[in-house]
Amino acid sequence: MKVMASSKQNLITLFFFYFFFFFASSSNINTTTENSSPTTTTTAETICNSTPYPSECISNLPPPQKLGTVRDFCIHFIHKSLTTTQQFLSLLNSYLNRHRHRHGADDFLTIPLLSKPIIGALQDCHLLAELSLETLSKTYQTLNSTNNNLINSFELAEEFHTFLSAVLTNTQTCLEGLEEVVGDSPSNPLTKVISVALSGGTKLYSISLALFKHGWVDDVSYNNNQPSTSAIVGGRRGKRLLQVGLGGVLVGESVVVNRNGTGNFSTINEAVAAAPNRSANSNITSYFVIYVAGGVYEEYVSIPSNKMNLMLIGDGINQTLITGNRSVVDGWTTYNSATFAVVSQGFVAINITFRNTAGAIKHQAVAVRNGADLSAFYSCSFEGYQDTLYAHSLRQFYRDCDIYGTIDFIFGNAAVVLQNCNIYPRKPLPRQFNAITAQGRSDPNQNTGTSIQNCNIRAAQDLVTANSTRTFLGRPWGEFSRTVFMQSYMDSVIDPVGWREWSGNFSLATLYYAEFNNSGPGSNTSSRVKWPGYRVISTSLEVVNFTLSSFIMGDSWLPTTGVPYTNGLL
C-alpha cells in the first residue's frame, strides 16, 4: 500500500511532538567535578556541578529542592530515568503496533511508510530500552529501600556502576542503529525525532551515573574490598579447567543438539527455547547446558535475558560452527547483523566457531554480539571482517579464543578482558586499513574499556602478502575510549605509530590508550602517536587497574564457570 507523503509527514510530526513533550532538554555539556560528601546535606548547585550536565541537573530537580545529599539526588534521577524509559517504550510500542494492526503481523515489515531496515532499527531500540528498564528498575528498588546503604561493598557498588554504564550504551546504540538505516542528516525527520528523545534521556542517565559513582563507588573503601596490590601483581591461575565432562561445574540439566536428529533437538534455537526462564533474583548457580554436536548450524541465535546461566558447549573450533551472513549493506543494523547474540547473565560458550560470511564488501557484519553480564567465551573462534566481535556492554571475559577481522573487529562498550587469545588482522578491501579495536566509552563515569593481556597479534594468512595494508591497535569510537594492551606479543603487522584517529582531533585528549610490557617487532613504542590520551605504562601500579581481578571483578564470578583465568599480571 502506498502512503501519501503528506500522511507520512503528519505521522512524523505527531511522533516528534510526543517525543519532544516527554524528553526535550537543553544546554551543553559541562564537566565541572566539584566534590561533596555523599551523605552530607549540600546545595543542589554543588552536587549538580559534579555531573556532566549541571544545568539539566538543576532544572530537573523538583522545586523548591535546594538542599540534599548526593545519594538522595541520585535516587531522584534514577527514578526520573526510569520514568523516561517507560515513556520511551510506550511510544515505541504504540508506533510499532500501529503498523502491525494496519498491515497485519506478517507483512508490516515491508510497508512503504517505514522500510524493513527502519522497523528493524526501531525494534533494536525497543529491545535496548527493555534492557535499560530492567536495569533501572532493579537499581531504583535497591537504592530506594529503607536502608540505601545496602550497597556497602566495592563489588556490589561496581555491579550497579556497570548496570548504569550499560544504560548509556543502550541509548547510544539505539541512535546509531537509526542513523545507519536512515542517515544522520539533521533534515531527516526520523533521526531528528529519536535524537531529541534520546538527548533528554542520555543526559538523565549520565547525571544518574555520575551521582551514583560519587555517592557509592567513590565512597567504598578500596582497601577493604579489592584484592591487595601484591596479590594482583603476583597473580594466580584459576584452578579449575572446564572439560567436556564439566568437572567442578554445577549442572542442573543438559540437552544435546545434533543436526542429524539424534539429539534432543536439531537446532540451537529450539534448545535455547527449552531452557528454563530465570530472573535476576533467582539466585540459581547451576547451569543449563546445551551440548552442540559437530556440524555447521546455519541459524541466527539470540539468547534473551531470561535464559540466565546457560552454557553452550561444542566439539571444538571449526568442528561446531554457527554461521550467518547479515550485514549493514543488506539492510540490517550493526546491532542486529549478529549471527549469534546474547544478553543473558552468566552465559558461557566453549569450543565453538561463530562466523559471519558476509565478507569485507558488506562492511559492518557481526559474528557475535555480547551484552551479557558475567559472560565468558573459552576456546572459541570469531570470524568476520568489519565489526566481528561486538563486546556491547556489561562485564565479559574471553580466554584462549581466535578472533579474525579487518576494521574495528573488536569493538563495543563493555568492560571486557581478553586473555591468551590469538588476534588475526586479515586482508581488507583495497585502500582500507585495519583497526583491531574500536572502544566506545562515551561518558567519563562509565567503568568500561577493553583490556588485552597475554595475547598474540599476528597477520592472518591472507594478509601476510598484503604489504600495503596498515594495521593499527585501535581507534577511538567513543569520546572517552579506553583500551590497554599488556604483556602481549605484537608481530610486525602492527604499524609503528600504533593507533589511528577516528576523525580529526576527536577524543585524542580524552581517550585512554595504553601499552605495558608487550613484546615482538610490532611492540616498539618509539614511533607511537603523541596524543595527550596515549601513554606507555612503565610500572605495574597503574596497569593493575586493568587486570581481570580489578577491572571485571573476575575472582567473584569466574570460578563457577570452570573457565581458566589469570587474575593479575603474569
The 3 state secondary structure assigned to 456-502 is: EECCCCCCCCCCCCCEEEECCCCCCCEEEEECCEECCCECCCCECCC
Cβ contacts of 105 within 8 Å, gap of 6 or more: none
Q: In Å, how far from its chain's centre is CA 391?
A: 5
Residue 185 CB neighbours (<10 A): 10
Write the CA distances from 70 to 75, 216, 450, 529, integer angstroms.
9, 9, 30, 39
Rounded to whole angstroms, the Cα distance separating 317 from 115 reads 38
Q: Which residues pair with 381 in a beta bridge?
A: 353, 402
Residue 218 identity (one-letter amino acid): D
**Catalytic one of 373, 408, 443, 495:** 408
For helices 189-215 and 70-103, the axis angle rounded to 10 degrees is 150
Residue that is written with C-alpha cell 560519587 in the block: 214
Residue 62 DSSP label: P
In 187-272, which ranges are E strands? 251-257
Rounded to whole angstroms, the Cα distance separating 289 from 310 reads 6
Residue 566 DSSP label: B
CA angle, corner 204, sides to 201 and 208, nearest 5? 140
The answer to whether the CB of 257 falls within 8 A of the CB of 263 is yes
Residue among 49, 12, 45 nearest 30 (CA): 49
Residue 170 CB neighbours (<10 A): 26
Cβ contacts of 230 within 8 Å, gap of 6 or more: none
Cβ contacts of 191 within 8 Å, gap of 6 or more: 178, 179, 182, 183, 184, 185
124 has catalytic annotation: no
Rounded to whole angstroms, the Cα distance separating 419 from 563 reads 11
Cβ contacts of 262 within 8 Å, gap of 6 or more: 256
Residue 252 identity (one-letter amino acid): G
In 11-91, which ranges are E strands? 42-43, 67-68
Residue 15 CB neighbours (<10 A): 18
Rounded to whole angstroms, the Cα distance separating 310 from 333 reads 26
Which residues are known to be catalytic?
Answer: 408
